[in-house]
Amino acid sequence: MLANTIKGLVKRLVKPKRAVPDRISREQHGIDRRLVSRHAIKVCETLQQAGFDAYIVGGAVRDLIIGLEPKDFDVATNATPEQIRSLFRRARIIGRRFQLVHVVFGQEIIETSTFRAPASNGQMTDDHGRILRDNVFGSQKQDAERRDLTINALYYDPITETVIDFHEGVPDLKNRVVRMIGDPATRYREDPVRMLRAVRFAVKLNGKIESATQAPIAELADLLGNVPAARVFDEMLKLLTCGQAMECVKQLRTHGLHSGTLPLLDVILEDPEGQAFIELALERTDKRIRVGKSVSPSFLFAALLWPQVRSQWQRLCADGEQRIPALSEAADQVLDAQTEKLAINRRFSSDMRDIWFMQPRFERRLPKAIYRLFEQPRFRAAVDFMQMRAACHEVDSVLAQWWMDLADANDEGRSDMIQALAEEPREEGVATKRRRRPRRKKPADAAALQSSSVS
């Protein structure tokens, strides 16, 4: 590995900038064609038969070379969007400025785009050098140059099974080195999200960021503040669902990129309880991803922000506020602080609140309220959330297990559990107050429970 790295370095130093790319044969790149989508092959074939160049490009080639199954396939070609569309029965042009074509095969969409040139100097950038437009058609070489990392600028021709490599991406990939194409500082200024991408791919490859690519990050990290918050959110979601979330979060912190993404992370990770909770949440997320299960963004962000919400909540309660309004205020404060940097979609933030607000309600376990909770759309997620809190000794694990059993039970089992609970002497804090109500209320509650219909 070290020998390879040194060899690569020497080669890079002595070799003049090449006009022609490396053409890498199957024996060298080792792509197993059986892992390639037949629809992506079909798109390349059809375009090539019509006289165009067409390659599978980007993340799919990177993943194929390292033996991972790509999650989707993109094609790049010198055909224009109109020309692409005319060759396929089910194809539509999408995007106005940045036009590309979706070629549709049943469930699978092959995103097919025309080679593009890098943005020409200055004109289409903001004051910090951030590119605002990037939609000029160009040659394949130019298309490679505008991509972010050498490992992401590879073109695979599935017909000849050759990989075209303009930036020595294949050796970088084999050595697990993340290297920016061009001058890293300029490329980060053009698009600060590339800093997050560099971190994500270094973790994904279990490799490292090459030193010149890493050097400017500390200084430029603040530029993330100029990126639309929704885009930062999308990238953070990719980072947290890449299968190695905790490592990504740690790396973000090491590179000083957390203040532009998760500003509260420092505070959280410095508190051992907060850190334990987040580690557990991210571990669970990684496990789900590894076995191919989906992860809900609201659950993930509810967990990431919980330590902060919780400590704020405790503070407000200590100041004498009632538990539920205090939780609401704590949630507002944390979400407000967070949303400045990372626009958490309104739909997600309302789900996050639901998950949080069910927590004190779970602790009360009033039979009548149980069905109301059960009917909430985020009930299952909130129960899972409570399991994590129990694992971190925030709540009683027997109570958390009761809710899990309830969530897993069928209708009959559930009524039995609630019936048994109604018959138990109440032991929980808030419920004790209610015991002072007239006795007749209790059977009425129980009857209401029996007759409620729960799907």
Q: Is 147 in the site for ligand ATP (CB under 6 A)?
A: yes
- Name the catalytic one among 53, 63, 126, 148: 148
Q: Is 58 in the site for ligand ATP (CB under 6 A)?
A: yes
The residue among 98 and 215 lying less far from ligand ATP, judged by its C-beta, is: 98
148, 168, 384, 394: which one binds ligand ATP (CB under 6 A): 148
Shortest Cβ 300–ligand ATP spacing (Å): 16
31, 43, 76, 193: which one binds ligand ATP (CB under 6 A): 193
The residue among 59 and 184 lying less far from Mg ion, judged by its C-beta, is: 59
Best CA proximity match to 72, nearest among 118, 26, 36, 32? 36
Residue-wise DSSP of 149-174? BGGG-EEEETTTTEEEESS-HHHHHH
> 18 is written with which tokens?
């090449």
Q: Is 194 in the site for ligand ATP (CB under 6 A)?
A: yes
- Which residues, 63 to 122, sit near ligand ATP by CB under 6 A? 74
Dihedral sign computed on CA atoms, order 139, 141, 143, 146 = negative
Query: Which residue, judged by CB position, is nearest to ligand ATP in the bound state?
Result: 59
Dihedral sign computed on CA atoms, order 167, 123, 215, 218 = negative
- Contacted entry of ligand ATP, Mg ion, none for residue 147, CB cut-off 5 to 8 Å set by kind: ligand ATP
Q: Find the angle CA(259)-CA(263)-CA(266) to the nearest 5 degrees.
A: 85
Stretch that binds Mg ion, among 11-19, 51-59, 301-309, 445-453 (CB under 5 A): 51-59
Q: Is 172 in the site for ligand ATP (CB under 6 A)?
A: no
Dihedral sign computed on CA atoms, order 334, 337, 338, 340 = positive
By the 10 Å C-beta count (0-12 exposed, 13-18 middle, 19+ buried), 443 is classed as: exposed
- Name the catalytic one among 22, 53, 63, 74: 74
The residues, ordered by sequence, that sit 6+ positions from 320 with a Cβ below 8 Å of its Cβ are none
Answer yes or no: 74 catalytic.
Answer: yes
Q: Is 70 in the site for Mg ion (CB under 5 A)?
A: no
The residue among 152 and 298 lying less far from Mg ion, judged by its C-beta, is: 152
- Contacted entry of Mg ion, ligand ATP, none for residue 148, CB cut-off 5 to 8 Å set by kind: ligand ATP
- For residues 380 and 406, what is the distance between their CA atoms, to the nearest angstrom? 10
- Name the catalytic one among 22, 72, 271, 445: 72
Q: Judged by CB under 5 A, how many residues of this single chain contact Mg ion?
A: 1
- Contacted entry of ligand ATP, Mg ion, none for residue 394, CB cut-off 5 to 8 Å set by kind: none
Q: Is 179 in the site for ligand ATP (CB under 6 A)?
A: no
- For residue 209, the SS3 value is strand
The residues, ordered by sequence, that sit 6+ positions from 179 with a Cβ below 8 Å of its Cβ are 149, 150, 151, 167, 172, 209, 210, 212, 213
24, 56, 59, 221: which one binds Mg ion (CB under 5 A): 59
- For residues 418 and 452, what is the distance between their CA atoms, to the nearest angstrom? 12
408-416 contacts at long range (C-beta below 8 A, 24 or more positions apart): 411/454, 414/374, 414/454, 415/449, 415/450
Stretch that binds ligand ATP, among 113-121, 147-155, 338-346, 387-395 (CB under 6 A): 147-155
Q: Provide the binding-site residues for ligand ATP, judged by CB under 6 A.
A: 58-59, 74, 147-148, 152-153, 191, 193-194, 238
Q: Provide the binding-site residues for Mg ion, judged by CB under 5 A.
A: 59
Show which residues are catalytic. Answer: 72, 74, 148
